[in-house]
Amino acid sequence: MEFSFDINQLFPERVSILDQTIVSGPKSALRPDLQAHIATVIDELGRASAKAQQLPAAITSASKLQTQRHQLYLLKDGESNRGRGVVVGFLKVGYKKLFLLDRQGEHVEAEPLCVLDFYIAENMQRHGYGLELFDFMLQHKNLEPVLMAYDRPSPKFLSFLAKHYCLTPSVPQANNFVVYEGFFRNRSGSP
Binding site for ligand ACO (CB under 6 A): 49, 52-53, 115, 117-120, 125-131, 150-154, 156-157, 159-160, 163
Q: Reduced to 3 states, what is the DSSP secondary structure of residue 44?
A: helix
**Whole-number Å distance between alpha carbons of 183 and 161:** 14
**Whole-number Å distance between alpha carbons of 75 and 17:** 9
Query: Shortest Cβ distance from residue 176 to ligand ACO (Å)?
Result: 9
CB of 11 or CB of 134, closer to ligand ACO: 134
CB of 15 or CB of 131, closer to ligand ACO: 131
CB of 157 or CB of 180, closer to ligand ACO: 157
**Whole-number Å distance between alpha carbons of 186 and 191:** 12
Query: Shortest Cβ distance from residue 190 to ligand ACO (Å)?
Result: 24
| H-type alpha helices, 13-143 | 20-23, 32-52, 62-67, 129-141
Query: Shortest Cβ distance from residue 101 to ligand ACO (Å)?
Result: 19
171 phi and psi angles, rounded to 5 deg: -95, 120
Q: Which residue is nearest to ligand ACO (CB)?
A: 130
**Whole-number Å distance between alpha carbons of 42 and 130:** 17
Query: Shortest Cβ distance from residue 61 to ligand ACO (Å)?
Result: 15
CB of 150 or CB of 180, closer to ligand ACO: 150
